[in-house]
């Protein structure tokens, strides 16, 4: 035994063994003080905003969803921190891509390397186009079923009359109509002004998206009038003229009149008959003013009066009275 103790190799091996024992003892104490986390978890984070990097001064991009879903797997503490703080970014970088269609992967930023990441969708198909701005005239419109019976839409005018629309060139080229639709209560019968949102439509009247309209809201002046129809005036002579007077012709100061009222009643009127009593015409007074009355079922007639002028000849052999107090008449 003493010989073994005196052997230098024995002492060296013993020292090496003691060194190993000391190392593993210290390592065990460190592991006990700082245990390694082995619990993993998976978390799905829905509707994460997707950023798009591109030159928005001269280009327009379509096909990029506003949000995507993110699934992360890793140590539970890191997963929970990422879910709660959400200080990461999901993005597509289009800054080096030319105009056209592209398949672009969604990238992540500021997520721990200890996490396994899955993005749904992982790739998006985007279209990069030239950014175009054009001016369009607004076409205001309103459902005429909102009008009260007997009234019609006379005119509509938007203020301002035009808008500027900015968007991808393909969308701007597809614009066929720019509408401002006015809504209101039933039985409208008076002019009014209302605000309306402006919409841009394709030829098939589908609404075009991914455009900016300036201004988005315009004021529309709506002019509503009572339904009317213009008809010719016909003069009908009643009775005989006074002795010594022959009526050659009768002429109205207005060749037509405007009839107002419900469409069903107004449309039945094809002419306005002005009846005149020939006996009221004298040698010195050949102009007769006649008051006009609305035809049956209508509300009014304009003008409200007409003057009928008679062309007469006198019989020199007959005694012609100078005047007469007969009253005027008018019927239709």
Q: pLDDT tens digits, residue range 214-253?
A: 999 999 999 999 999 999 999 999 888 888 888 888 999 9
CA neighbor of 235 nearest in space, from 262, 219, 257? 257
Segment 203-215, tens digit of pLDDT: 999 999 889 999 9
Dihedral through CA 256, CA 260, CA 263, CA 265, nearest 10? -80
Domain with CATH 2.170.120.40 in the chain: 138-226, 228-314
Task: Locate 49 and state its tokens.
Answer: 């905003």
- Which pTM does this prediction carry? 0.62
Give the strands of the sheet with 40-53, arranged side by side: 107-109, 89-93, 40-53, 67-75, 116-120
In this structure, the number of other CB atoms found within 10 A of the CB of residue 104 comes to 18
Segment 18-48, tens digit of pLDDT: 666 776 665 555 555 545 455 899 999 999 9
> What pLDDT does residue 313 have?
87
Is residue 114 a contact partner of residue 73, using CB atoms and an 8 Å limit? no
Indicate if the pLDDT at residue 10 is higher than 80: no
Distance CA 93, CA 129 (A): 15
> What pLDDT does residue 28 have?
53
Mean pLDDT of 310-316: 82
Residue 25 DSSP SS3: helix
Task: Locate 247 and state its tokens.
Answer: 């009526």
> What pLDDT does residue 332 have?
41
On average, the pLDDT of the chain sits at 87
Segment 147-176, tens digit of pLDDT: 988 899 999 999 999 999 999 999 999 999
- Asked, as a colleague might, if the bond just before 121 is cis with ω within 30 of 0, I would say yes
For 88, counting Cβ atoms within 10 Å of its Cβ (0-12 exposed, 13-18 middle, 19+ buried), the class is: middle
User: What topology is assigned to 138-226 in CATH?
Assistant: RNA Polymerase Alpha Subunit; Chain A, domain 2 (2.170.120)
**What region, left, alpha or beta, does residue 197 occupy, with left being phi > 0 and alpha being psi -120 to 50 degrees?**
beta
Q: Position of tokens 């309306």?
A: 196
Distance CA 167, CA 213 (A): 9
Distance CA 277, CA 324 (A): 12
Mean pLDDT of 190-213: 94
Distance CA 329, CA 332 (A): 10
- Report the Cα 226 to chain-centroid distance in Å: 28
> What pLDDT does residue 210 have?
87
> What pLDDT does residue 229 have?
93
Inter-CA distances, 115 with 37, 110, 225, Å: 14, 11, 71
Most confident of 9-18, 54-63, 276-285: 54-63
Q: For residue 173, what are the contacts with CB-CB under 8 A and spacing of at least 6?
A: none
Segment 42-76, tens digit of pLDDT: 999 999 999 999 998 999 999 999 999 999 999 99
Confidence of residue 331 (pLDDT cuts 50, 70, 90): very low
In this structure, the number of other CB atoms found within 10 A of the CB of residue 156 comes to 18
Query: Which CATH class name applies to 228-314?
Result: mainly beta
Indicate if the pLDDT at residue 321 is higher than 60: no
Query: Which CATH class name applies to 40-129?
Result: mainly beta
Distance CA 196, CA 179 (A): 9
Task: Locate 80 and state its tokens.
Answer: 């929970």
DSSP state of 20: H
Is residue 188 a contact partner of residue 263, using CB atoms and an 8 Å limit? no
Indicate if the pLDDT at residue 325 is higher than 50: no
> What pLDDT does residue 326 have?
43
């Amino acid at each position: 035994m003493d010989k073994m103790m005196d052997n230098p190799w024995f002492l060296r091996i013993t020292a090496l063994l003691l060194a190993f024992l000391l190392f593993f003892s210290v390592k065990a104490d460190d592991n006990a003080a700082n245990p390694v986390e082995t619990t993993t978890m998976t978390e799905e984070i829905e509707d994460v905003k997707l950023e798009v990097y591109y030159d928005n001064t001269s280009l327009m991009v379509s096909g990029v969803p506003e949000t995507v879903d993110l699934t992360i797997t890793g140590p539970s503490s890191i997963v929970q921190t990422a879910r709660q703080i959400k200080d990461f970014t999901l993005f597509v970088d289009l800054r080096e891509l030319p105009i056209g269609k592209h398949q672009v992967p969604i990238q992540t930023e500021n997520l721990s390397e200890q996490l396994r990441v899955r993005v749904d969708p992982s790739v998006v198909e985007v279209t990069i186009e030239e950014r175009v701005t054009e001016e369009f005239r607004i076409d205001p419109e309103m459902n005429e079923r909102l009008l009260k019976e007997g009234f019609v839409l006379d005119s509509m005018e938007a203020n301002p009359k035009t808008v500027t629309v900015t968007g991808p060139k393909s969308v701007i080229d597809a614009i066929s109509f720019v509408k401002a639709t006015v809504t209101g209560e039933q039985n409208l019968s008076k002019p009014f002004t209302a605000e309306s949102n402006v919409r841009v439509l394709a030829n098939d009247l589908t609404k075009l998206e991914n455009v900016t309209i300036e201004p988005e809201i315009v004021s529309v002046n709506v002019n509503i009038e009572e339904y009317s129809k213009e008809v010719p005036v016909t003069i009908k002579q009643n009775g005989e003229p006074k002795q010594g007077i022959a009526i050659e012709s009768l002429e109205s100061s207005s060749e037509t009149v405007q009839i107002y009222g419900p469409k069903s009643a107004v449309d039945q009127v094809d002419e306005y008959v002005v009846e005149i009593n020939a006996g009221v015409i004298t040698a010195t007074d050949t102009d007769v003013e006649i008051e006009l009355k609305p035809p049956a079922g209508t509300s009014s007639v304009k003008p409200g009066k007409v003057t009928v002028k008679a062309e007469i000849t006198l019989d020199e052999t007959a005694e012609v009275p100078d005047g007469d107090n007969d009253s005027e008449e008018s019927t239709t």
